[in-house]
Structure 1
Amino acid sequence: LRLSPEQQKQYQELTSTLGQLRNRYIPQQETSFTLVSFPSPEIGSDFEAIFSDVVDINTLDSRQYERIQQKIIDVLDLADWVHIKGTNRTDIKVKMHSIPHPDRQTNFVNCGADINIPVGEVFTTPLLTATSGVLHIEETYLGGLKYCNLELTFKDGYVTDYSCTNFDDDKENRKYVEENLLFPHKTLPIGEFAIGTNTLAYVIAKKYGILHLLPILIIEKMGPHFALGDSCFTFEEDAPAYNVLNNKEIIARENEKTALRKTDVKKAYVFRHIDITIPYESIAFISAVTQTGKRIDIIRDGRFVVEGTEDLNKPFDT
């Protein structure tokens, strides 16, 4: 069953209208939430052990992670752009917002466990212009569907080409991505760039072989990731937001797409947010590149290398 181009357009308009109505009667600026996940017995014979380990993951010390994550943010806030290079074909440059007042402003949210449990990640809304390159994930599950060798090419923040190797036929592979990842759109922007820091969750997931069973709530904390679609500040771009640890204002709340809300809100949002996480072992490096060209590594060969982040590597060695 496939929708015609006219039906796809109608579906897109419906999604946009529903999103605006939801925000009118449940304003995101005035509401909040907390989410947490636990395994059910259907996860298999290791249920009790997995449940116990997930409890450990969900009760990690939020403030301790926020202090470590601030070390990462301090480096990222020096960046004109961030370079993500994989051990595979991933090679992408992500453009950062300029920070007029670094003493009281930042680009990144220092995410503890106050909303999304478990900890932790740092995330931002990158600029679309000059964000370009290739994202390649050898195996991932998105929306419950498996993607083999998912490859997305970006130009100025938008998907311009895509492929996977789920099928022998290239046309079938493109159709699979179109219908399950991009639908109802022909392309999607990058709405978020983040670095997940919950290495314990990653190691435990690998231990039990349950990566494909975990909800995105946990997976997004288990490595660097990009989100296709809207930013994390949808309908909240004009509301000042601050990090708890240092009270710095997070200024990267919009991009060129969401800025269109000022003239035509229907053009500003796609009402999709799909997190695609890069496994730590697939990372050659993530480096902050300053305006002078100086490169400062955050992750090198799958390990955190910023001074003060050593504790994040401990789960890898247990």
Structure 2
Amino acid sequence: MRDPRFDRLAETLTGYSTELKRNEKVLIEAFDAPDEITIALIRAARKRGAIPFVQLQRAPVSRELALHATESQLRLLARHELARMKQIDAYIAVRGSHNITEQADVPTNQMKLIAKKMRPVQDQRVQKTKWVVLRWPTPAMAQLASMSTEAFEDFFFEVCTLDYRKLQPGMNALKKLMERTDRVEIAGPGTDLRFSIKKIPAVICGGDRNIPDGEVFTAPVRDSVNGFVTFNAPTIYQGTSFDHIRLEFENGKIVKATSNQTKKLNDVLDADVGARYIGEFSLGFNPHILHPMRDILFDEKIAGSFHFTPGQAYETADNGNRSQVHWDMVNIQRREYGGGEIYFDGKLIRKNGEFVIPLLQSLNRARLLKRK
């Protein structure tokens, strides 16, 4: 029996997120996701007159290829994938995971090589197509969230079918405020950050890029970041789990980085010059996502959070930083996580995860949930 939630989600992804139109070509990539959601996406795309293409990926196969991929092999693969991506109008990725650390034993240098060679494909997809990426609920994800598989699936579909139009007024106001702001100060346990976002565009993420969604991001002026930050949400990068990451900055550069995996952390940050500079600053406010799940597509949207991103800047909020790395690191500022404050040009904007100025209070969790 078909789950009607699959069809509703497929309609959201093809109708709202990518706004597929007649004769547009859409690439659907399914990573360890059930055939049923892929089929639902194919049907939803056809219903809108679009032309679907499909690629199925399996994590153990990807790991085996990654372990021994040569530079010449990756160069050929990237050329082939880039040529295909240039023919595509829209991209939908559904990413499941039966083992989130499947690639943990792929050597760091090998992961760096793969990231470097495949970067042009990612840039083409991010900058030149209409795209949306979402996770698929699996028992592994439910375990990370300390939930039963059934309860996690129910949570997933509630989060992913949120009516993002309800967030638009508050997101528009936050975007305008960020684009008028010069100085940002962030304070909290283990955190004292200062930087500028002057003349950097702000971008609304309201269900048209990631599902789940709920953030507005910009980027710091590249050499303006000073101070230190401690991230209280765990993170997984290139198959390795990191906890208690702490970064220290001088004139934009990460000059000291520690965590429970300090060596691996610094290996990533030494991938290239840009990896030690910040490419993104964002505020998250999805009312359904409250606690970290070690999955960045969820964690970066946590209500009352911000994230700071070593590495590549997005073209839409470009501070000029270039890197093969783009690593979102999350700090939750709600009271139960220790609290914290964010100031724009000396004015308190958010305290303990709650927006305090009237213009932005519609993004607070209590207000958003009241609208249901």
Match of 1:19 among 113, 119, 126: 119
Match of 2:366 among 305, 311, 314: 314
CA spacing shift, 1:175–1:63, aligned 2, 3 Å: same
- Residue 211 of structure 2 corresponds to which residue in structure 1? 117
Match of 2:331 among 273, 278, 290: 278
Describe how 1:167-246 pairs up with structure 2 within 5 A. 174-179=262-267, 181-185=268-272, 188-202=276-290, 206=291, 211-213=292-294, 215-222=295-302, 223-233=305-315
- Whether contact under 8 Å (1:142, 1:276) holds in the other structure is no
2:177 is aligned with 1:75: yes
Aligned to 2:131, the other structure's residue is in SS state: coil
- The residue type paired with residue 288 of structure 1 is F
Match of 1:64 among 166, 177, 180: 166
2:194 is aligned with 1:93: yes
Describe how 1:136-155 pairs up with structure 2 within 5 A. 136-143=230-237, 144-155=239-250
- The residue type paired with residue 83 of structure 1 is E
**What residue ranges of structure 1 are gaps of 5+ in the alignment?**
1-6, 99-105, 167-172, 234-240, 242-251, 258-268, 290-294
Match of 1:129 among 209, 213, 223: 223
Q: Which has the higher contact order (CA 8 A, sep 6+)?
A: 1
User: C-alpha distance in 2, partners of 1:148/1:41?
Assistant: 22
User: C-alpha distance in 2, partners of 1:50/1:10?
Assistant: 34
**What residue ranges of structure 2 are gaps of 5+ in the alignment?**
1-106
1:156-205 Cα distance to aligned partner (Å, 9 max, x none): 222111123x3xxxxxx5424223x4253475210000001113212xxx
- Residue 50 of structure 2 corresponds to which residue in structure 1? none
CA spacing shift, 1:217–1:28, aligned 2, 3 Å: closer
Between the aligned residues of both structures, percent identity stands at 23
User: C-alpha distance in 1, partners of 2:153/2:118?
Assistant: 37
Aligned to 2:234, the other structure's residue is in SS state: strand
User: C-alpha distance in 1, partners of 2:350/2:164?
Assistant: 21
Match of 1:157 among 248, 252, 269: 252
User: C-alpha distance in 2, partners of 1:112/1:317?
Assistant: 16
Aligned to 1:130, the other structure's residue is in SS state: coil
CA spacing shift, 1:296–1:316, aligned 2, 3 Å: same
User: C-alpha distance in 1, partners of 2:151/2:113?
Assistant: 46
- Whether contact under 8 Å (1:304, 1:313) holds in the other structure is no
- The residue type paired with residue 314 of structure 2 is C
Aligned to 1:193, the other structure's residue is in SS state: strand
Aligned to 1:218, the other structure's residue is in SS state: helix
User: C-alpha distance in 2, partners of 1:175/1:159?
Assistant: 14
Shift of 1:83: 0.7
1:108-165 Cα distance to aligned partner (Å, 9 max, x none): 101110121122100012211222110112451232544343210112222111123x
Alignment coverage as a number of residue pairs: 252
- The residue type paired with residue 225 of structure 1 is H
CA spacing shift, 1:72–1:15, aligned 2, 3 Å: closer
- Residue 49 of structure 2 corresponds to which residue in structure 1? none
TM-score (norm 2): 0.60
Shift of 1:303: 1.6
CA spacing shift, 1:27–1:316, aligned 2, 3 Å: closer
CA spacing shift, 1:157–1:284, aligned 2, 3 Å: same
Aligned to 1:129, the other structure's residue is in SS state: coil
Shift of 1:12: 6.1
CA spacing shift, 1:175–1:72, aligned 2, 3 Å: same
TM-score (norm 1): 0.69
- The residue type paired with residue 296 of structure 1 is K
User: C-alpha distance in 1, partners of 2:131/2:250?
Assistant: 34
Match of 1:297 among 348, 355, 359: 348
User: C-alpha distance in 2, partners of 1:118/1:201?
Assistant: 9
User: C-alpha distance in 1, partners of 2:327/2:119?
Assistant: 16
More helix by share: 2
1:25-46 Cα distance to aligned partner (Å, 9 max, x none): x565432321122322342562
